[in-house]
Amino acid sequence: MTMNKNSSESRREFVKAIGAGVFTVGAGALTSNAMAASANQKKLGIALVGLGNYATNQLAPALQVTENAYLAGIVTGTPAKEKIWADKYKIDPAHIYNYDNFDNIINDAAIDVVYVVLPNSMHKEFVIRAARAGKHVITEKPMGLTAAECEEMIAACHKAGVQLSVGYRLQFEDNTQQIVHAGQSLPLGPINYVRSEFSFIIGNPKQWRLKKELAGGGPIMDIGIYCIQGARMATGLEPIALRAVEYKTDHQKFSSVEETVMWQMEFPGGLYSNSTCSYNMKANELYVSYAKGNARLEPAYSYRGVGGHLGQLKLPPHQVNQQALQMDDFVVCIRQNKTSKVSGEEGLKDMKIVDAMYKSMANGGQRVVI
């Protein structure tokens, strides 16, 4: 990680304050090293499946700055988007597909990786179809609608001999990784509590995220995943049980999905976390309490500007492209035939927790063992 003068001074103050060594090993730095080692190798082609907001405003721009990958193709169900994208990104029509002829991608040597950016209910189908076409796969979160779906996706990729990754971009963000390393090296002592919250006020009531048949659920299936990941990353532990409850104030807008969900997860050793996700309030924070201090990221889950503190160590925001780091790292994993740290198995862990949350909510918030 590149440090400026003020950042370096903050680190020295932190070391002096807690009497520990500097432990600044950021995922971005690790990824940059891996990218430098493979700079002379051919870039791998990525096809984006689904050209909605995230693909349009985050992934496609990120693929203009990736060092190991490039935008090789697109898959869309909207014919009008084909020419717009072809002109903007100089995509040959031979590498443009729709959902019906998608399986022809098996014959497209320019496309090495398929990135599924479709509504949640379509993830499983297109991950499996991509795997059968011999393409490595990234899917957006949630990986599937249930843990059972995730297991099917993992099995299909294993059978096809391709790698599967989930778009957990924050595992490549440096300040987030500082919290992860603090949970491993414990410079502030053992962790005794974690709070993770991510909420926003959702707009268009007709969008797919508010339709259960497409989204699979409400904020849990969208921003709740970040809260689960935040608690798991901060502690380095897997929850063993949880309780979850739903609160709803706008029954018309949220007629088929939950509006606000609060849950508590229990971890080994008596540690616990509290989390909230909602489509009708504002929050964006990860807070960790240690025996000798605390850490806080706010915003914690944004595309840019993640920052806060770790004890007396300031964590100034880094304006890195999280999506570019994420995709570049996946290419390195493919080249080196190693499992991504955001593999399908990682997505499965989260969905087992989500399954338990829905089970608890259906039973009035009763404790559910995971």
Query: What pLDDT digit, counting tens, does each position of 160-171 carry?
Result: 999 999 999 999
Q: Taking the chain, what is the end-to-end CA distance rounded to the nearest angstrom?
A: 37
Catalytic residues, by residue number, are 141, 226
Percent of the chain scoring above 70 in pLDDT: 89
Q: What is the mean pLDDT of residues 310-314?
A: 98
Q: What is the mean pLDDT of residues 299-318?
A: 97
Dump pLDDT digits (tens) for 220-275.
999 999 999 999 999 999 999 999 999 999 999 999 999 999 999 999 999 999 99
Compute the mean pLDDT over every residue in the chain, rounded to the nearest whole number: 91
CB under 8 A, 24+ apart: contacts of 291-300: 291/188, 291/189, 291/190, 291/192, 292/18, 292/188, 292/189, 293/18, 293/188, 293/189, 294/188, 295/179, 295/182, 295/188, 295/234, 297/175, 297/176, 297/179, 300/176, 300/196, 300/198, 300/226, 300/230
194: confidence class by pLDDT, cuts 50, 70, 90: very high
Dump pLDDT digits (tens) for 98-127.
999 999 999 999 999 999 999 999 999 999
CA distances from 193 to 197, 203, 212, 234, 368 (A): 14, 33, 33, 10, 20
> Which pLDDT belongs to residue 319?
87
Q: Which domains does the chain have, with CATH numbers?
A: 5-23+172-318+343-369 (3.30.360.10), 38-169 (3.40.50.720)
> Which pLDDT belongs to residue 41?
75
Contact 243, 261 (CB under 8 A): no
Dump pLDDT digits (tens) for 23-80.
443 444 444 434 444 444 799 999 999 999 999 999 999 999 999 999 999 999 999 9
